[in-house]
Amino acid sequence: MEPGIIRADLHGKNKYQAKVTVDALLRRAGAGTYRILLIHGCHGGTSLRDFLLETYAAHPRVKRVCLRPDGGATELVLREYTK
């Protein structure tokens, strides 16, 4: 586990359940959190991935939404990591 990154597995969740989970993570994310990694997979379809991109791209706490190259995870960037 990397410090500053919260990981959540959304496999098997529907859009409502995923939203409840992600909203709770955003509320609990403290100053030391700079990314939330949402693992959703892509072999069962892309509706959850697309939902996350659409829903959280304009969220006030999210600077940007990044899709991992393999397509199976999405990152919500809350702030830039600086050393």
Indicate the DSSP class of residue 68.
-
Percent of the chain residues topping a pLDDT of 70: 95
* C-alpha separations of 66 from 31, 56, 62 in Å: 20, 11, 11
Cα gap 71→82, rounded to integer Å: 26
pLDDT beyond 90 at 59: yes
CATH number (domain holding residue 25)? 3.30.1370.110
Amino acid at 77: V
Residue 8 is predicted with a pLDDT of: 96
Unique residue bearing structure tokens 């992600």: 22
Residue 33 forms part of a structural domain: yes
Residue 83 predicted with pLDDT over 70: no
pLDDT at 14: 93
pTM: 0.89
Number of domains in the chain: 1
Q: Is residue 83 part of a domain?
A: no
Check: CB of residue 12 under 8 Å from CB of residue 1: no
